[in-house]
Amino acid sequence: MKLYLSLLCTLLLSGCSMTRNEKYADYVNPVIGTDIQRHARGDKAPSEEKGQTMPAVGVPNGMTNWVPQTLEGEHKCNPPYYYYHDEIQGFRASHWISGSCTQDYGSVTIMPVTGELKTNARERASQFSHDEETAKPYYYQVMLKDYLIHAELTGLSHAGIMRFGFQSDKDRYIIIEPNSDKQQRYLKIDAKSREVTGYNPAYRIYQGSGKSAGFSGYFVIRFEEDFDSFGTWKDSEVTTGETEIKGNKNRVGAWIKLALEKGNSIQIKVGTSFTSIENARKNLEAEIPGWNFEKVKKQSAASWEKALSQIAVKSSDEKKKTQFYTALYNARMLPRTFSDVEGYYPGFSENYTIHQAKDFTYYCDFSMWDIYRAVLPLYSILSPSLTGDFSKSFIVKGQQGGWLPIFPLWNNYTAAMIGDHGIAMMGDAILKEVPGFDYEEAYLLMRKNAFEVNTDRKSYVEGKGRRGLESYLQYHYIPLEDNVWDAFHKREQVSRTLEYAYDDFVLAQVARKLGKTDDYRTLVKRAMNYKNVIDPETGYARGRYANGEWVEPFEFDKFVDYICEGTPYHYTWYVPHDVNGLMKHIGKERFRTRLDTFFEKDYYWHGNEPGHHIPYLFALAGEAWKTQKWIHNILNREYYPTPDGLSGNDDAGQMSAWLVFSMVGFYPVCPGMPYYVIGSPGFEESIITLENGKKFKVEAKGYTEENIYIQSATLNGQPYNKCYILHEDILKGGTLSFVMGNTPNKQWASGADAMPYVTTE
């Protein structure tokens, strides 16, 4: 039997033929997505109406981001910065998961003030103007109007440096505040060493909500000059001369008074760690040993140039370059480095146990339900060495915790979202032969998640093991009677079934590659479980009871509790591994007609992830020209080079990665298979510089805003009539060339031989 694989069209960001003097990082506008969105939709307002990004300074995949703070605390769904706010409360060493609706953790904020000493975040806040603000990936500056202070930030992975220029002759203070919502924080002042050290314990949300995460955010703050005086504060009570304070359900912090005669500016360095104050100090000394702000700024800029220059795009439209490189910046921010410069990191789901990564970097904050779709496939093209470390980090988590995590955030199990997409990430890496981790070790953990029901009630509640697996194995779908109580997203039985069927398919391909024949046969059969929750009579995904009866009443376009963040119409298309089988199951003509209606009647919801692959399904149904049409419609309608320029949460870079892939010209419809479905390029030319030193070019001859339809194509000079491109062809280097026009060529890539298949017999 052959499974039609609507396969992934992975990666890559748009590559542009830019002049030698142009800098990629300067095209990035980090405030895109920080405002209320102009094209938000869905039922998740108000959280889904914001991009939830931030103007973060640092390096790609850094441990800590250096961010202006307009919103205090570490509350769920509150990023440090919103564009529509008009006051800055300080500058934060942040671990916010960019684009998310989670929460910051282990963070600390530093705020300069003049005149009266004010410690409360809202009281000390200063007015600012966006006209006096500069945000780049490597540098942020703003004028604090209330205090006449020019503030500047730059930083690297574990350490940052701030420079405050004072234009007032009033008293000068620096306020330091750890941001724990649990008020369990600690600070110590060492005036002799010009240091303030401390920690901010991290706490879990979702599964295990409110419990210790088993580590803290540690920091060492070092000043360029001696203190004039100092003290601590607790809530509204300020104490002079006190050197140590610990919060116990109180807001606490430290204050430093600077000497007026020492000049008009001061520099402050911050080292961070998740293991200890001493390692935070080592991280600081390793990354920023001196007091040269401009040197650190150049290092940060160079790091971003290296990452962003991997895709060079050719376009006369400067706004499109801004959109593209900002999206690439957002897509290269996470997962987060979690290990120190010497490799130390807190054990996964352990209580303050320290390990050392000796031959890899340990990463965390995998917003897996989001990023398996496009962010991680993008890395598999641009930086497979990082993909190897991501996978090795996942193996370490599974070995330390006993189960492969589903959605690991703040170094713990969460069971926050559905699916089992660690399998998608590692399976994709194995099938693309990414080096850097042990495939057999990975398989053992993936197999355990897929085959074993966690009968240990305590650990299951903590988030270990697939949710609803017992029902899934018994009925070959999750019936409506199983409410899946032990999860953050409860119920959602149909969506879970569909996502498990996909994960089982990916694991089946890994089993076949590794010679696990019996497992392969079992898993590839389970991959067909999607048919058990897509009603062939109505042609829609639909809730089903244990006795086989379909839920009544049924409305295909309503948000219902058996679907995750969408409607049955949205999830009907979630069969990325067997698009041909789905067409046969509901009828090919009905499939095509329904897909047309889905877009023409505006049912499509781009602001949330489950539908991101859907516009590429036209190509897999033999109508590639419709994919070309709707991709450009989405690009023009859902993305703007402005603060309100995202139509939903960026979710750790997934919205941005979709844009990167789609503007380059292809997309990973089915991560876990080494193919990418071709869409329609958004640039005249994109050149991808691969980690192996080779280059892969996508060119669109005759491309304009009107000429979006592919007339013909060649791959390395040979005629090309397929709707997909192989991962191996990208890694070999070469040129995929399109001739573009303003009318559809309905014959291009329309035949059965143009479609990607995979044998499952």
pLDDT in tens, 97-115: 999 999 999 999 999 999 9
pLDDT bucket at 3, cuts 50 / 70 / 90: very low
**Is residue 566 within 8 Å of 605, Cβ to Cβ?**
yes
CATH number reported for the structural domain that contains residue 665 in this entry: 3.30.2080.10
Q: Which of 466, 501, 528 is the last residue of a domain?
A: 466
pLDDT at 263 over 80: no
Residue-level length of the chain: 761
Judge whether 408 lies within some domain: yes
Of the candidates 586, 607, 758, 604, the residue with the CA atom closest to the CA atom of residue 670: 758
Judge whether 489 lies within some domain: yes
Of the candidates 388, 333, 378, 321, the residue with the CA atom closest to the CA atom of residue 100: 333
Q: What is the mean pLDDT of residues 578-605?
A: 97
pLDDT of residue 46: 58
pLDDT at 6 over 60: no
Residue pLDDT, tens place only, 685-708:
999 999 999 999 999 999 999 999
pLDDT at 323 over 50: yes
3-state secondary structure of 748: coil
- Alpha helices by DSSP H, listed for 402-488, are 422-431, 439-451, 457-461, 469-475
What does the mean pLDDT of the chain come to? Answer: 94
Instruction: Say whether both 364 and 287 belong to one domain.
Output: no
Q: Which two tokens stand for residue 374?
A: 């496009």
Residue pLDDT, tens place only, 147-166:
999 999 999 999 999 999 99
pLDDT of residue 652: 97
Of the candidates 406, 410, 418, the residue with the CA atom closest to the CA atom of residue 209: 410
Q: What DSSP element (H or E) covers 684?
A: none
| Per-residue buried b or exposed e for 62-76, using 16+ beta carbons within 10 Å of the residue's own CB | bbbbbbbbbbbbbee
Put residue 491 in one of left, alpha, beta given phi > 0 → left and psi -120 to 50 → alpha.
Answer: left
The backbone torsions φ and ψ at residue 145, rounded to the nearest 5 degrees and listed phi first, read: -65, -40
| Per-residue buried b or exposed e for 525-539, using 16+ beta carbons within 10 Å of the residue's own CB | ebbbbbbbbbbeeeb
Q: Return the DSSP state at 602.
A: T
Instruction: Say whether both 207 and 61 belong to one domain.
Output: yes
Q: Return the DSSP state at 646.
A: B
Instruction: Say whether both 461 and 475 belong to one domain.
Output: no
Q: How many domains are there within the chain?
A: 4
Note every long-range contact of 557-560, with CB atoms under 8 Å and residues 24 or more positions apart, other chains counting: 557/603, 559/43
pLDDT of residue 106: 97
Instruction: Say whether both 69 and 213 belong to one domain.
Output: yes
Judge whether 104 lies within some domain: yes
Q: Which two tokens stand for residue 68?
A: 């202006």
Judge whether 344 lies within some domain: no
Cα 381 → chain centroid:
16
Residue pLDDT, tens place only, 274-290:
999 999 999 999 999 99
Q: In angstroms, what CA-CA distances link 206 with 212, 328, 387, 434? A: 12, 29, 26, 32
The maximal CA–CA distance of the chain, rounded, in angstroms, is 82
The backbone torsions φ and ψ at residue 285, rounded to the nearest 5 degrees and listed phi first, read: -70, -30
pLDDT at 11 over 90: no
Residue pLDDT, tens place only, 402-417:
999 999 999 999 999 9
Q: Which of 242, 277, 309 is the last residue of a domain?
A: 309
pLDDT of residue 40: 61
Residue pLDDT, tens place only, 490-533:
999 999 999 999 999 999 999 999 999 999 999 999 999 999 99
CATH number reported for the structural domain that contains residue 559 in this entry: 1.20.1610.10
pLDDT bucket at 208, cuts 50 / 70 / 90: confident
Taking the chain, what is the end-to-end CA distance rounded to the nearest angstrom? 5
Instruction: Say whether both 234 and 363 belong to one domain.
Output: no
Q: In angstroms, what CA-CA distances link 522 with 32, 203, 498, 504, 527? A: 46, 39, 17, 9, 9
Of the candidates 410, 454, 398, 484, the residue with the CA atom closest to the CA atom of residue 205: 410
**Is residue 597 within 8 Å of 590, Cβ to Cβ?**
no
**Is residue 369 within 8 Å of 566, Cβ to Cβ?**
no
pLDDT at 69 over 90: yes
pLDDT of residue 14: 32
The backbone torsions φ and ψ at residue 330, rounded to the nearest 5 degrees and listed phi first, read: -65, -35
**Is residue 266 within 8 Å of 163, Cβ to Cβ?**
yes
Distance CA 41, CA 593 (A): 24
pLDDT of residue 18: 46
Dihedral sign computed on CA atoms, order 301, 307, 313, 319? negative
- Angle formed by the axes of helices 624-638 and 654-664, nearest 10°: 130
Cα 230 → chain centroid:
40
Q: Return the DSSP state at 289.
A: -
CATH number reported for the structural domain that contains residue 381 in this entry: 1.20.1050.60
Q: Which of 438, 466, 494 is the last residue of a domain?
A: 466
Instruction: Say whether both 591 and 569 belong to one domain.
Output: no
- The range of the structural domain enclosing residue 54 comes to 49-309
Q: What is the mean pLDDT of residues 169-175?
A: 96
pLDDT at 17 over 80: no
Least confident of 120-124, 178-182, 576-580, 674-678: 178-182
Q: Quick one: what percent of the chain has pLDDT higher than 70?
A: 95
Instruction: Say whether both 475 and 459 belong to one domain.
Output: no
Judge whether 263 lies within some domain: yes
pLDDT of residue 755: 84
Judge whether 1 lies within some domain: no
Judge whether 22 lies within some domain: no
Instruction: Say whether both 115 and 200 belong to one domain.
Output: yes
Distance CA 107, CA 314 (A): 40
Dihedral sign computed on CA atoms, order 76, 82, 84, 88? positive
pLDDT: is 47 or 610 the higher one? 610
Q: In angstroms, what CA-CA distances link 382 with 26, 328, 689, 710, 724? A: 20, 11, 8, 25, 18
**Is residue 163 within 8 Å of 293, Cβ to Cβ?**
yes
Taking the CB of residue 131, how many other CB atoms lie within 10 A of it?
6
Q: In angstroms, what CA-CA distances link 342 with 110, 136, 195, 282, 698? A: 26, 29, 22, 8, 40
Give CA torsion, residues 306, 307, 312, 313, to 10 deg: -140
Q: Which residues contact 435 (CB under 8 A, 6 or more apart)?
A: 384, 385, 388
pLDDT of residue 41: 65
Instruction: Say whether both 596 and 517 belong to one domain.
Output: no
Instruction: Say whether both 677 and 600 belong to one domain.
Output: yes
pLDDT of residue 21: 56
Task: Tell me the chain's radius of gyration from C-alpha atoms.
Answer: 26
Q: What is the mean pLDDT of residues 318-329?
A: 98
pLDDT of residue 47: 62
Instruction: Say whether both 525 and 636 belong to one domain.
Output: no
**Is residue 428 within 8 Å of 377, Cβ to Cβ?**
yes
Instruction: Say whether both 136 and 255 belong to one domain.
Output: yes
**Is residue 514 within 8 Å of 457, Cβ to Cβ?**
no
Distance CA 58, CA 156 (A): 5
pLDDT at 390 over 80: yes
pLDDT: is 246 or 1 the higher one? 246
Judge whether 85 lies within some domain: yes
Distance CA 353, CA 344 (A): 10
